């Protein structure tokens, strides 16, 4: 049974079980559903004479000597030379005393790692090593790399999952054999095997596609149902002719044409006493929040309640603080980290109707919170929330007016698949006073130049973001991590320049504090992982450096870049490419040459092929899917949509498809972790 605890798997002892538990993995099913973030494709063995710097290579070589500590250094660095018939290479290990016992003079292994060059000599640092037979086995499959953020070593996971497949398990499938055959998709269990132990990238893609199909199918079912249900009559009209004028006068700027159009459309619906249920799409910085505030303004003017839900505490607070400037009375901020005592007060105020607008995160969908008259809701960065979260918030009111805000640039054809016939407003232009961001694409040798440029901006009184892909170094992925990168920055920048460090492992109060300090200008540089990605608005920050830019999806890079260029000041974005091969350069050139999210998404699609994969792989992963990429999988999406429509047409209550019904019910009721 997949619902069995992981401790039932052979070889998973008490200690490993505890590790898994700590990472939030309790059942066999949860183990299987933790998918690799990358794969190692072990190359054929090369001759040492063909070693090339930076390349990941394997050499079949014999140790020429025993490992010895490097003279003059602490004993932690161990070195030994190894040779094949063509040449010799030096092996280097750090903090690995055991190596002296296992790898000795005269022994023969295949060594795999990244080649480094130093003073004309080639090195392999911390290579993996295998017997010749083992390496042959290794090459038969791609080796899965799992996220190590949760503190479980890769081989432990791989071993547990392999054992699970060996023991065999029953895996229920929502699709019948006939359906799968018609759709040419593998069954569920096979798709799981293909993802964890693919022979090659084509296989892996087959597995992904199957799971993506399922995701898109259920999304389509949901959309079909939603389209039927969103329409509702409202008793109260929130709007009176001309009321927007006063709202406009709150802002020191005039609204863009798209913002005005969108408000007009909403007014029309309100006058007709229709429920507003609208997606607001607009590139980063296009000013979606103004639209949301308009709805809140109308709502609280009539003494009704509004709730604004954002995906992170940082964002919720930012919106709350902006809202305070417009409507200072009877509004609150409710966060997970709000004290119990304060929460109780807020709950009371909301239940009694004394509080009219509440800003928060998922804290808004907690059981204990009920409203006296919830008339409107706004979901910011809607793609970050699952269906269940939306529905939970909606249920706290009686068919409340609802706005969904999203910055994911999508082609028109895709909008049809994602939103069906639901109303959609697109904010096409940015505010008039914005200068286009200037972009630069640089190599790692130019890092110091980038730092100098940042320093210049700081001297002008501006602030800077520096983005790294990871928090800590990962055993198998050689990328820059914020914790170690801080030292690199510290070495370069004068002491009086203050650096804030932001990443996902900080407690939420810590994150808030770091963010707040940056907003107030108390730190000049914010060094961060992608947690800073969504919606954060610091107008004085004019430059962003993105390390290992090749590691990110283009859509994500675009979102990140959207943190600068949020005022009339000239802004800059510097992409540092550490891979620097033709392909990664071509991708990043796209970023350099365009500031248009939609054009970027399209170009990206042109360049990517199936099986193409890199860390932070999710492209339109910012859309609520974990396996599917609606841009890449548009055709699959179309088929899934068609299947869902046909199924509902023939069987509206899904009575003849009990497994689908059960899964669908789970989708709209269970919480996402
Ligand atoms: P996003 O669409 O990314 O959520 P925001 O709503 O956060 O964008 O707006 C970005 C910034 O632009 C904010 O500081 C906001 O006050 C400002 N802004 C919004 N609309 C306009 C406008 N019409 N003219 C000038 N600035 C605007
Ligand atoms: Mg926003």
Is 70 exceeded by the pLDDT of residue 534?
no
Share of the chain above pLDDT 70, in %: 93
> Measured between alpha carbons, how far is 469 from 547 in angstroms, rounded to an integer?
7
> Does 256 sit in the ligand 1 pocket, CB within 6 Å?
yes
* Extents of the domains making up the chain: 6-37+147-196, 42-138, 231-427, 438-607
By alpha-carbon position, which residue is closest to atom 10 of ligand 1?
A: 285
Q: How far is the CA of 376 from the centre of ligand 2 (A)?
A: 18
d(CA 644, ligand 1 centre) in Å: 38
Residue with the two structure tokens 């006058």: 271
Q: Is 356 in the pocket of ligand 1 (CB under 6 A)?
A: no
Does ligand 1 have an atom closer than 6 angstroms to the CB of 407? yes
Distance 284 CA to ligand 2 centre (A): 7
Q: Which residue's CA lies nearest to atom 15 of ligand 1? A: 287
From ligand 1's centre to the CA of 289, what distance in Å?
Answer: 7
CA gap 642, 183 in Å, rounded:
12
Residue whose CA is closest, atom 4 of ligand 1? 288
User: Which of the ligands is closest to the CA of residue 291?
Assistant: 1
Alpha carbons 122 and 120: distance in angstroms, whole number: 7
The DSSP-derived string for 442-493 is EEGGGHHHHHHHHHHHHHTT-EEEEE-SBSS--SS----BHHHHHHHHHHHS
Distance 422 CA to ligand 2 centre (A): 21
Nearest ligand 1 atom to the CA of 284 is 3
CA gap 605, 609 in Å, rounded: 8
Task: Decide if 560 contacts 533 (C-beta within 8 A).
Answer: yes
pLDDT of residue 57 exceeding 90, the answer is yes
Contact 400, 377 (CB under 8 A): yes
Instruction: For residue 613, name the pLDDT band (cuts at 50, 70, 90).
Output: very low
Among residues 425, 420, 378, which one has the least CA distance to residue 267? 425
Look at residue 558 in the predicted model and tell me its pLDDT. 87
Tell me: the pLDDT tens digits for 141-150? 999 988 766 6
Three-state DSSP class for 273?
coil
Give the integer Cα–Cα distance in Å for 625 and 618: 9
Cβ of 290 less than 6 Å from ligand 1:
yes
Do 231-427 and 438-607 fold alike per CATH? yes
**356-365: average pLDDT:** 96
Written as six digits, the tokens of 470 are 């990871």
Highest-scoring range by mean pLDDT, 335-339, 375-379, 564-568: 375-379
Kindly tell me the sign of the dihedral angle through the C-alpha atoms of 341, 343, 346, 350.
negative
Fold classified for 438-607: Rossmann fold (3.40.50)
With a cut of 80, say whether residue 471 has pLDDT above it: no
Ligand nearest to the CA of 262: 1
Query: What atom of ligand 1 comes closest to residue 290's alpha carbon?
Result: 6
Q: What is the pTM assigned to this prediction? A: 0.77
Please state which CATH class domain 42-138 belongs to: mainly beta
Nearest CA-CA partner of 125 in 587, 478, 413, 589: 478
CA distance 368 to 371: 10
Mutate to test the pocket of ligand 1, among 260, 287, 558 (most ligand atoms within 8 A of CB): 287
Mean pLDDT of 500-506: 86
The predicted model gives 503-522 an average pLDDT of 86
pLDDT at position 71 is: 63
Backbone angles phi, psi at 33, to 5 degrees: -85, 0
231-427 placed in CATH 3.40.50.300: yes
């Amino acid at each position: 049974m997949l619902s069995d605890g992981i401790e039932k798997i052979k070889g998973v002892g008490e200690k490993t079980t505890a590790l898994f538990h700590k990472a939030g993995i309790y059942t066999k099913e949860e183990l299987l559903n933790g998918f690799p973030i990358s794969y190692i494709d072990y190359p054929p063995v090369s001759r040492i004479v063909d070693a090339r710097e930076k390349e990941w290579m394997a050499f079949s070589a014999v140790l020429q000597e025993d490992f010895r500590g490097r003279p003059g250094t602490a004993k932690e660095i161990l070195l030994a030379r190894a040779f094949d018939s063509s040449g010799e290479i030096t092996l280097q290990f750090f903090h690995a005393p055991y190596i002296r016992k296992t790898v000795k003079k005269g022994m023969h292994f295949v060594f795999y790692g990244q080649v480094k060059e130093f003073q004309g000599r080639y090195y392999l640092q911390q290579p993996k090593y295998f017997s010749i037979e083992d390496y042959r086995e290794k090459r038969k499959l791609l080796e899965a790399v799992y996220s190590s953020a949760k503190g479980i070593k890769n081989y432990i996971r791989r071993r547990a999952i392999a054992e699970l497949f060996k023991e065999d398990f029953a895996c229920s499938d929502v699709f019948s054999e006939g359906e799968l055959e018609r759709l040419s998709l593998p069954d569920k269990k096979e798709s799981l095997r293909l993802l964890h132990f693919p022979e090659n990238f084509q296989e892996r893609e087959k597995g992904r596609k199957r799971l993506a199909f399922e995701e898109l199918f259920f999304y389509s079912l949901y959309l079909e149902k939603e389209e039927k249900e969103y329409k509702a009559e409202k008793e109260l009209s929130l709007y009176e002719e001309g009321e927007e004028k006063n709202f406009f006068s709150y802002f020191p700027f005039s609204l863009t044409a798209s913002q005005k159009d969108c408000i007009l459309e909403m007014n029309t619906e309100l006058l007709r006493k229709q429920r507003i249920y609208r997606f607001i799409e607009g590139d980063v910085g296009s000013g979606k929040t103004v639209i949301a505030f308009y709805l809140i303004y109308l709502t609280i003017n009539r003494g009704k309640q509004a709730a604004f839900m954002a995906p992170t505490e940082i964002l919720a607070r930012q919106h709350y603080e902006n809202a305070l400037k417009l409507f200072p009375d009877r509004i609150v901020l409710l966060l997970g980290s709000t004290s119990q005592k304060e929460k109780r007060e807020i709950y009371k105020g909301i239940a009694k109707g004394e509080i009219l607008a509440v800003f928060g995160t998922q804290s808004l969908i907690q059981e204990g919170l009920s409203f006296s008259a919830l008339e409107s809701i706004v979901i910011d960065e809607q793609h970050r929330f699952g269906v269940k979260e939306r529905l939970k918030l909606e249920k706290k009111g009686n068919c409340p007016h609802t706005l969904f805000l999203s910055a994911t640039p999508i082609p028109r054809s895709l909008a049809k698949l994602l939103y069906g016939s639901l109303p959609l407003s697109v904010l096409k232009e940015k505010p008039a006073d914005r200068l286009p961001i200037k972009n630069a694409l640089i190599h790692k040798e130019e890092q110091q130049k980038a730092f100098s440029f940042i320093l210049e901006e700081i001297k002008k009184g501006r602030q800077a973001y520096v983005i790294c892909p990871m928090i800590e170094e990962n055993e198998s992925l050689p990328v820059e991590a914020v914790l170690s990168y801080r030292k690199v920055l510290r070495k370069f920048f004068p002491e009086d320049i203050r650096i804030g460090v932001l990443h996902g492992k900080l407690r939420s109060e810590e994150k808030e504090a770091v963010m707040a300090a940056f907003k107030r200008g108390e730190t000049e540089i914010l060094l961060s992982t992608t947690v800073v990605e969504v919606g954060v608005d610091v107008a004085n920050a004019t430059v962003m450096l993105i390390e290992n830019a090749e590691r990110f999806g283009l859509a994500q890079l675009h979102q990140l870049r959207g943190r600068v260029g949020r005022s009339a000041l000239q802004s800059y974005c510097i992409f540092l490419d550490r891979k620097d091969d033709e392909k990664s350069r071509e991708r990043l050139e796209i970023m350099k040459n365009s500031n248009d999210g939609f054009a970027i998404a399209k170009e990206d699609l042109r360049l990517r092929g199936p099986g193409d994969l890199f860390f932070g792989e999710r492209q339109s992963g910012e859309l609520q899917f974990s396996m599917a990429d609606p841009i890449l999988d548009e055709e699959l999406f179309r088929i899934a949509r068609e299947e869902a429509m046909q199924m509902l047409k023939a069987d509206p209550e899904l009575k003849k498809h009990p497994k689908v019904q059960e899964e669908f019910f789970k989708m709209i009721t269970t919480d996402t972790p």
